[in-house]
Amino acid sequence: MGIGEIDGWSAAPLDSAGDGFRLAQLVTKEVRKHGRHLLGDQLLETLAEIQHRRGNRDPFLHAFLDAILARHQDRFRNQTYLALPLLDQVLADPRSGLDPERLSALLIADIVAHESQPSSAGRTDPETRRKRITHAKRLLTALGSADITDLPLPPRTAAGAWLPLTVLPVSLVHDEYFFIRALQTHELVFRTLTADVQAATHALRAGQVDAATAALLRADKVFQRAAMLFRIVATMRADQFHDFRQFTEGASAIQSESYKRFEVCCGEPKPSRIRSEAFTNVPAVQAGAHRQDNVARAFLDLHRQGRIDDSAGTRLRFAIDQLEASHQRWKITHYRLAARMLGNAHGSGYTAGVPYLEQCLRNRLFTTAAGT
């Protein structure tokens, strides 16, 4: 198989039909056999050559190779670890008809399917896997998959076929597979949250306070899914985590743009936070943070203009408080999980680790609104 066929691919003329999907399947097979970080230099060089020659002719293959070659090319980060550009290609395909919610359901269903395979148990005991499957099925129900005996499957489209190729573990540790799917789902959850919070700001700018309140309450419900994700991740043992963490150095959710976009759409973070590693790790969000309209500012403006009556204002404040409290709970759960998994070790995003997260507990989302 494999390497020989990949070599042949590199020699193929540029204008040949070049089945990028077939190539990616072959590479994925190698990844699942050895782990992404134990792929041989010769293979990586060949793939880099293919990437260079073909450019962005096939956006799926391009995004796939972007992930595979990230460490080799010294740009391994959260988004290449999680193959987010490839996931985005699948999400953007109009024929597949996916949105962040439906894609999340597919990723969680994949966790259930993976954990249900008897052959891939590794060192994870049956009780842990049962618990993991139970939590994943609860999240599936929350995502609207009523019939969880029939797990949702990827759409039967060319883009849908790439979905199984979006898990590219760095190791052979069983638990890394579900961990990647959980973090990918987290990215999608925060995109949904951002859309809801932006809808609230637009509604406030249009003077539609009750519509804004409804959007924030919707966001608060979505937040419960983020909490459910932690329950799934919490089934992992610290020693299993450390088995693959040694290869994930440099990739951290501190680089997650979707989390920080959610944050700046709620209120304007303090200047000290904007200057800190929380935002230097997401330069695109950092650069636009001051220009970004947000719920807190829109609420304050409406209040100053006397365009908000008491009862609508009270309902809006309630929704804001709910979301703030859910986010605080989310941070506390994350902090505790990290403390159990990491102890005194630094974070893979090069912060001090648990002390950094403890400091983050003091931050609030809706700082401007609190003053109204």
Task: Give the one residue of 138, 337, 368, 370 binding ligand HEM; rule: CB under 6 A.
Answer: 337
**Which range touches ligand HEM (CB under 6 A), out of 17-25, 149-157, 178-186, 299-307?**
178-186
CB of 216 or CB of 278, closer to ligand HEM: 278
Task: Give the one residue of 67, 102, 349, 365 binding ligand HEM; rule: CB under 6 A.
Answer: 349
**Which range touches ligand HEM (CB under 6 A), out of 79-87, 101-109, 181-189, 197-205?**
181-189
- Could you say whether residue 142 binds ligand HEM (CB under 6 A)? no
State which of positions 227-266 bind ligand HEM (CB under 6 A): 229-230, 233, 241, 252-254, 256, 259
Q: How far is the CB of 367 from ligand HEM (least distance, A)?
A: 15
Distance (Å, rounded) from C-alpha 352 to C-alpha 345? 8
Distance (Å, rounded) from C-alpha 298 to C-alpha 267? 9
- Could you say whether residue 356 binds ligand HEM (CB under 6 A)? yes
- Could you say whether residue 351 binds ligand HEM (CB under 6 A)? yes
Q: How far is the CB of 352 from ligand HEM (least distance, A)?
A: 8
Helix (H, G, I), strand (E, B) or coil at 251: coil
DSSP characters over 103-118: HHHHHHHHHHHHHH-G
Distant-in-sequence, close-in-space partners of 300: CB < 8 Å, separation ≥ 6? 368, 369, 371, 372
DSSP category for residue 12: S
CB of 186 or CB of 218, closer to ligand HEM: 186
- Could you say whether residue 338 binds ligand HEM (CB under 6 A)? yes
CB of 21 or CB of 350, closer to ligand HEM: 350
Task: Give the one residue of 87, 163, 295, 357 binding ligand HEM; rule: CB under 6 A.
Answer: 357
Angle at 113 between CA 91 and CA 169, to 5 degrees: 65
DSSP characters over 281-322: TSHHHHHHTTT---HHHHHHHHHHTT-S-HHHHHHHHHHHHH
Q: Which residue in the block uniquely carries the two structure tokens 């703030």?
A: 324
- Could you say whether residue 135 binds ligand HEM (CB under 6 A)? no
CB of 51 or CB of 78, closer to ligand HEM: 78
For residue 249, give Cα distances in angstroms to 118, 147, 253, 358.
30, 39, 12, 21
Q: Which among 67, 3, 77 is positioned nearest to 40, based on CA atoms?
A: 3
Q: Which residue in the block uniquely carries the two structure tokens 């193959």?
A: 83
Which residue of the chain is nearest ligand HEM when measured via CB? 347
State which of positions 28-47 bind ligand HEM (CB under 6 A): none
CB contact at 8 A, 270 and 367: yes
Q: Which residue in the block uniquely carries the two structure tokens 């080799």?
A: 72
Q: How far is the CB of 226 from ligand HEM (least distance, A)?
A: 6
Distant-in-sequence, close-in-space partners of 237: CB < 8 Å, separation ≥ 6? 124, 128, 175
Chain residues binding ligand HEM by CB under 6 A are: 182-183, 186, 226, 229-230, 233, 241, 252-254, 256, 259, 278, 334, 337-338, 341-342, 347-351, 353, 356-357, 360
